[in-house]
Amino acid sequence: MKKFAILFVLIISLCQVHGQQPVQLKSPEILKDNSVIFRLNAPEAKSVKLQGTMNTGWEGLEMNKNQDGIYEIKIGPVDPEIYVYTFQVDGVSILDPSNNIVTRDGSHIESSLVISGEKTDVYDVKDVPHGNVSAVWYPAEKLGMTRRCMVYTPPGYESSKKSYPVLYLLHGGGGDEEAWLGRGRANYILDNLIAQGKAEPMIIVIPNGNLMATSAPGETPLELRTKQNQQEMGTPAAMVGEKMQHSLVEDLLPFIEANYRVNKNKEGRAIAGLSMGGYQTLKTSNLYPDMFDYIGVMSMGVYTSVDDGFNKEGFKSKIEAIKKADPKLYWIGCGTDDFLYQLALDLMKIYDEVGLDYKYRESSGGHTWNNWRLYLSEFAPMLFK
């Protein structure tokens, strides 16, 4: 017994020195019926609210002190989905200190809540073979920098001699190369679809879509950080001009095709993206109509208009070129509550005029990761077949 007592004391000491408080509260606590209790110890706070993607509303839900003086709220039953949430303590946003699973999308950093069920079956980490995910640096000569992309290799890639097709997957405005993994669960979605025999094993390449960045914030070289501090970051840079698209096809694509066992032809290449990444997908496929046999535009519309003073005829001639290249799949997904919904409808009107064949997936909901995970889980099974 004595040795365990000593061991216990030492481990507690180690944890404290590491700054890790023994977790005193269970939060979130998921009950059998998928109701969820959130708890926070904030004795000095005047008001604590729960704000999250679980229909808490923009204002959040007021939490109340229980008999132990702990702020608490029970919600639900909550539908199976992957959610993020924060507490608002006297108007200031905080992570749930009892929950060490945190996801980041750009500067949006929140606590994670997974309600497991049929819907999350394809998003969740399951006990199936997992593909590896690597942070890979490559020379982006068109942009004059070394950049970081994330590469998912499907289970078995490392021990096989086979060549694999590649999906280039683009994130949204404010995000970076980590967003499709942390928020989007792209690697686990593919693990599950492949394990179920629903998707072909494929490589996924996720570049950073921000023209002035090399990589996610914490991975940015000192030299660039210094430069960024000196000059205001040109925010719209990622959306204006064609540099990003040229770098994607002329820097990244050849790098991937030289360093991975991949199918180096149109049939083996797909491109898709959400929001800003949807815009970049449109623009890249318009510029290189013969490059990708699978094109996926998520939560984006006739946005191309913006940066060259929309010339409908010019745009249509690019879509004509895509039609001529006859991709195997041109896929569009948008939510009916998306603030770009009308622009997506306008985009398809043009495609109808040109006679481009496309598949349209209309979902409920808006410009959210719930939709983007859904779209990827439906788009990926249609690829490379």
Residues numbered 250 to 279 that lie near its own copies (CB under 8 A) are: 259, 275-276
Nearest to 300 by CA among 171, 182, 177: 171
Ranges within 194-213 binding its own copies (CB under 8 A) = none
Nearer CB in complex with its own copies: 366/381? 366
Nearer CB in complex with its own copies: 45/287? 45
Angstrom distance (rounded) from CA 124 to CA 187: 10
Give, in order, the Cα–Cα distances in Å from 357 to each of 2, 350, 380: 74, 11, 19
User: Binder to its own copies among 75, 89, 203, 272 (CB under 8 A)?
Assistant: 89
For the chain, helix (H) and strand (E) counts, in that order, are 10, 17
Give, in order, the Cα–Cα distances in Å from 168 to each of 20, 141, 216, 250: 39, 19, 17, 13
- Our finding on whether 231 is near its own copies (CB under 8 A) is no
Helix, strand, or coil (residue 66): coil
State in angstroms the smallest separation of the CB of 1 from its own copies.
11
Nearer CB in complex with its own copies: 90/357? 90
User: Binder to its own copies among 69, 129, 156, 314 (CB under 8 A)?
Assistant: 129
Do the beta carbons of residue 280 and residue 272 sit within 8 Å?
no
User: Binder to its own copies among 28, 154, 165, 172 (CB under 8 A)?
Assistant: 172
Nearer CB in complex with its own copies: 66/132? 132
- Our finding on whether 108 is near its own copies (CB under 8 A) is yes
State in angstroms the smallest separation of the CB of 116 from its own copies.
6
User: Binder to its own copies among 3, 64, 118, 231 (CB under 8 A)?
Assistant: 3
User: Binder to its own copies among 107, 118, 144, 355 (CB under 8 A)?
Assistant: 107
Give, in order, the Cα–Cα distances in Å from 379 to each of 64, 231, 276, 332: 43, 40, 18, 9
- Our finding on whether 1 is near its own copies (CB under 8 A) is no
Amino acid at 88: Q
Ranges within 59-78 binding its own copies (CB under 8 A) = none
End-to-end CA distance of the chain: 61
